[in-house]
A and B are shown apart, each in its own frame.
Chain A
């Protein structure tokens, strides 16, 4: 297996590690039947960085992160994560890679038939293969406490609100201590107050677990709170890039339309 701990994140001096590119995408193209969803996507994600991808629905944002975890394969271009080409990985290598990537789905994607505790135990027992129940309990309680839902530990997902489901989903991805977090529209369908809480939680968790993140959203408040850098997508292409303040001054019509809604 190529993607081991050693060659994925080799120990380097702190300053070099901060500039290390963890995801490198160059000329990515993805198409479905007669529809080209990603046309020519190029970006780098550095270690510890929060990159927000803004774009309207159907612009190809989610497809980008699905390629990163190998759920979809690009038709053309290079996509490397921790220096390894995702498209060339076999099942075992992909599994090793996925253990280092957390993916928060739009719906939270909690397993309906399991309680919150069992949802959180699932990746520990099935992915990390932990057997020590004390260690499992400790990690479950610690991460649930971090998202403020320790009281909901024995509840079923059907008993939770939308915001609580997202928090538990976040806890479930963080419990394996991933190095990269991918958020697929984390605030969609939530009220403004809960959206803000989730955005702040994402930021706090990023600081606590020192992850690099890609946040797919069209929620400008979420982008403002979480982004180190924002990339704007339209019709399968990146059309602008910069900090929140830089993009606020952009003359691009589509970029302007995003910011004008927040004024």
Chain B
């Protein structure tokens, strides 16, 4: 029993060590020269453009549902006019970035984990390495940087679409014009609402790309490993999103909301 526990902890410590080495190798390869621009652009398209529809639909529904859920309580307090402000602040600060990141963890981290895991199983990564090419630069650097760039963009798009969802929900029961609704939303927002949210989505994006690449790149050689890598990538990336969010909230509170 004790021996099993020690083995488990040792494996965990080894895994942490490997992740640190992988991070260092990723960082070194960013500046190693010969950046793979074409692959980076392709990944931005795959990760960003191909996730837009999913993020858009989810954000729209979230905005709509939030207004429907909030309305009775806000109306009971006699603060109906505060509905756009409440939605805007909660969506921009927290719900939009986290929902987008969770959706991307499910879609992108799993796809990167499965793709690299499959390449590992089929010896494609070994083939790149023995040919003298740099698989880290081609496969890992491009994907992690693409997720770090695309997840914040998706979150911003998701925020706007979510606010449209809220507008639709408001117009089901009440009547408010689109310019007035957006004026109320934007007037309620501050720089300190927008900036920390964008900054944390960069970290969300990085975590999604890094975990996906690490799990895929270090998967074992067997078809079962591809599924394990994809599944593990989603679970770990989702967990990291909440950990980063918790840290980001603390830092933001200290810096902006004293």
Decide if A122 touches B124 in the complex (CB within 8 Å). no
**Which residues of chain A are near B133, meaning CB under 8 Å?**
122-123, 126-127
Q: Which residues of B contact A98 (CB under 8 A)?
A: 129-132
Between B123, B127, B138, the greatest number of chain A beta carbons within 10 A of the residue's beta carbon is seen for B127
Is A109 part of the binding interface, using a Cβ–Cβ cutoff of 8 Å?
yes
A178 to B76, CA, bound (A): 79
User: Interface residue count for A (Cβ, 8 Å)?
Assistant: 22
Which residue of B119, B123, B129 is within 8 Å of A106 (Cβ)? B123
Hey, which chain A residues are within 8 Å of B132, CB to CB?
95-96, 98-99, 123, 127, 176
Decide: B126 and A71 in contact? CB cutoff 8 A.
Answer: yes
Choose among B123, B126, B130 the residue with the greatest number of A CB atoms under 10 Å from its CB: B130
Q: Report the bound CA distance from A109 to B138 in whole Å.
A: 16
Category for how many chain B residues contact A: 10 to 19
Contacts of A103 in B (CB 8 A): 127, 130-131
Contacts of B175 in A (CB 8 A): none
Which residue numbers of A lie inside 8 Å of B, CB to CB? 69, 71, 95-96, 98-99, 101, 103, 105-107, 109-112, 122-123, 126-127, 172-173, 176
**Min distance, Cβ A61 to any Cβ of chain B, angstroms:** 15
Query: What separation, in Å, do the CA atoms of A96 and B132 have in the docked complex?
Result: 7
A250 vs B122: C-alpha distance when bound (angstroms):
37
The residues of A that contact B119 with a CB separation of less than 8 Å are: 111-112
Q: Give the contacts of B112-131 with A (CB-CB under 8 A).
A: 118-119, 122-124, 126-131
- Residue B171 is within 8 A (CB to CB) of chain A in the complex: no
In the complex, are the beta carbons of B126 and A126 less than 8 A apart? Answer: no
CB-contacts of B79-136 with A (<8 A): 118-119, 122-124, 126-134
Residue pair A105, B138 in contact (C-beta under 8 Å): no
Top 10 nearest A-B pairs by Cβ distance?
A: A109-B127, A98-B132, A109-B123, A126-B133, A127-B132, A103-B130, A99-B132, A105-B123, A69-B130, A95-B132
23 residue pairs A–B, Cβ–Cβ below 8 Å = A98-B129, A98-B130, A98-B131, A99-B132, A103-B127, A103-B131, A105-B126, A106-B123, A107-B123, A109-B123, A109-B126, A109-B127, A111-B128, A112-B118, A112-B124, A122-B128, A122-B131, A123-B133, A126-B133, A126-B134, A172-B131, A173-B131, A176-B131
Apart from A98-B132, A112-B118, A112-B122: 12 A-B pairs, beta carbons within 8 A? A71-B129, A105-B123, A106-B123, A107-B123, A109-B124, A109-B127, A111-B119, A112-B119, A112-B124, A122-B128, A122-B131, A172-B131
